[in-house]
A and B are shown apart, each in its own frame.
Chain A
Amino acid sequence: MIRVLIADDHAVVRQGLRTFLDLQEDIEVIGEAGDGEEALALVEQLAPDVVLIDLVMPRVDGIEALRRLRERAPAVRAIVLSSFVDDDRLFPAVRAGAAGYLLKDVQPQELVEAIRTVHGGGALLHPQVAARLLQDMAEDPLTPREHEVLGLIGRGMPNKLIARELSLSEKTVKAHVSSILAKLGVTDRTQAALYAVREGLVGPGS
């Protein structure tokens, strides 16, 4: 049995989900919460396998609840069930550790599949959500100049040599480097260099 907790501030949705999910052979709804705080308390008390969670909820909202959930009960798998796809919610929810992101236009059977998938260790995204995440990954965060600088970092050059190579001032190079580190989310130039090598930014013969 997959033990499911529902967190949604709309009674209509909770009732619909409970009735429908309880009809599935392998799923049991063990609790309902009307806000994020209640959801966190019930997770500790009932230790569900999967939490279905709405993002817009009073008191503690869904994203904050996901963050705390990951700290306190990392084994619990969470599926976001929202009526929106927007960047303000999607990215924080994914970063907060959601294993699924579905919209409230999901077919009930797909929702059941999603619960099974996520319980089995997989992840499931609404196609629109997946498209948005892929688009984000495909976007190149670096400017062409930053690419050049990163390539030279990848060859192990210090700022002074990079400045000479690109005919820039050392100060400018420094600014590029810190921008690159920030964009790649790394803390030092060694990590940036590793990234450059991995991404094939360091040309052959260098």
Chain B
Amino acid sequence: MRESLEAMSEAVLAIAAEREVDPVLRRLVESARELAGARYAALGIPDGTGAFAQFITAGMSDELIAAMGPLPRTHGLLGAMLESPDSYRTTDIRQDPRFRGWWPRAHPQMRSFLGVPIVARGEIIAAFYLTDRERADEFSAEDQRLIEMLAAHAAVAIENARLLERSRELNIVEERNRMARELHDAVSQKLFGLVLNAESAATLLARDPEAAGVQIAGIRELAHEALEELRGLIFELRPASLEEEGLAATLRKHVDMLRRVHGRDVELRISGAPRTAPETDREVLRIAQEALTNALRHADAERIELRLQARDSRLTLTVADDGVGFDPAAPGLRSRRLGLTSMEERARALGGSLAVVSRPGDGTTVTLEVSA
């Protein structure tokens, strides 16, 4: 029992550290399998229309999962665990009246069964399914107690991860709104200047045609600048052009736009011709945007530089500033810099690596490496 409790607390701590729903679920189902000593474990989240939104398994190979085909429906014993908050144990699943009498194609034969609903705020949000107790014919009352304890933690972990995901989405919306305001502000200035100059030219026309001509030349130039700016801004609001123009051109435009909006210089160096998949491009662009935003907003830097290097099949993105820097290991700072974590998550999802080198007073360098 003592050993089990230690395993449980370890599992719960690991789960609490996750910020996204999927890894939380994967860890939960692995922990359930280990704690109960089951050969197979699954965690199913119903989608409310008779199917599972997610059905995550442990103890099964990818080949086996692929061979079984689509996710199960919420009927039979699977469905029963989502209807009442009570757990259920049996020695032989095939003897249960709710068993349909046959396994789907490629599905392993299973005997002993333990099902435990996961209840959050009075609602069954998911269930654990464990089958084939190892080294015993059936799951014990002790196994059931352990999984019920895990289920209570699972409810909290799933809810938390969902909330965190939602708040991150909201942050993105906020960031877009902020961007839209900055863009509006930048365009308004140029257009207002244009309107004033046009009015001046109109006034001058009668009094001093030559001066009016000078005014109009100025207007032409300003109109041209405004047009360029608008183009950049419209582009900024339509990231779809990434697929048409590629990563290098998109980064160049983004940096141009930042220069205009923030009135600060950002050096840009691109070497080699990066050829990467569109999904990789998108993530690399996001990481570059995030790193640049951090440098512009928090670093108080004199110099900001973005380098993109493509060599062989490696792509290296570097965003460096000579600003105030920070201690990347400081936990409080890290949580305030949500961006750091999300950059790391994106890098991991790409199968790449992200290194943040910074020291207080000594600038910050973010380096992303991915294979193209």
Tell me whether A13 and B189 are in contact in the complex, defined as CB-CB below 8 angstroms, given that A19-B215, A83-B184, A84-B181 are known contacts. Answer: yes
Q: Mark A84-114, 1 if CB is under 8 A from B, else 0.
A: 1000000000000000000011011100000
Residue of A nearest to B198 (CB): A108
Q: Which of B197, B203, B204 contacts A16 (CB 8 A)?
A: B197
Tell me whether A16 and B196 are in contact in the complex, defined as CB-CB below 8 angstroms, given that A23-B203, A23-B204, A84-B181 are known contacts. Answer: yes
Bound Cα distance from A188 to B222, whole angstroms: 57
Q: Give the chain B neighbours of A104 by CB distance below 8 A.
A: 188-189, 191-192
Q: Is the interface of B mostly helix, strand, loop or mixed?
A: helix
Which chain B residues in 177-217 approach chain A with CB under 8 Å? Answer: 181, 184-185, 188-197, 199-200, 203-204, 215
Q: Give the chain A neighbours of B204 by CB distance below 8 A.
A: 23
Bound Cα distance from A37 to B200, whole angstroms: 29
Bound Cα distance from A108 to B215, whole angstroms: 16
Bound Cα distance from A100 to B17, whole angstroms: 53
Contact A19 B192, beta carbon cutoff 8 Å: no
What's the interface size class on B, roughly? 10 to 19
Q: Give the chain A neighbours of B195 by CB distance below 8 A.
A: 16, 107-108
Contact B203 A15, beta carbon cutoff 8 Å: no
Contact A16 B185, beta carbon cutoff 8 Å: no
Bound Cα distance from A20 to B197, whole angstroms: 7
Count contacts between A and B, CB distance < 8 Å. 54
Q: Give the chain A neighbours of B194 by CB distance below 8 A.
A: 16
Contact A23 B200, beta carbon cutoff 8 Å: yes
Q: How far is the CB of B303 from chain A (nearest CB, A)?
A: 19
Contact B185 A56, beta carbon cutoff 8 Å: yes
Q: Give the chain B neighbours of A17 by CB distance below 8 A.
A: 196
Contact B189 A10, beta carbon cutoff 8 Å: yes
Contact A108 B199, beta carbon cutoff 8 Å: yes
Tell me whether A105 and B185 are in contact in the complex, defined as CB-CB below 8 angstroms, given that A20-B199, A23-B204 are known contacts. Answer: no
Contact A13 B197, beta carbon cutoff 8 Å: no
Q: Give the chain A neighbours of B222 by CB distance below 8 A.
A: 12
Q: How far is the CB of A119 from chain B (nearest CB, A)?
A: 19
Bound Cα distance from A23 to B215, whole angstroms: 12
Binding site for B on A (CB under 8 A): 10, 12-13, 15-17, 19-20, 23, 56, 83-84, 104-105, 107-109
Can you offer 21 A-B residue contacts whose CB atoms are under 8 A?
A10-B189, A15-B193, A16-B192, A16-B194, A16-B196, A16-B197, A16-B200, A17-B196, A19-B197, A20-B196, A20-B197, A20-B199, A20-B203, A83-B184, A83-B185, A84-B181, A84-B184, A84-B185, A105-B192, A108-B196, A108-B199
Binding site for A on B (CB under 8 A): 181, 184-185, 188-197, 199-200, 203-204, 215, 222
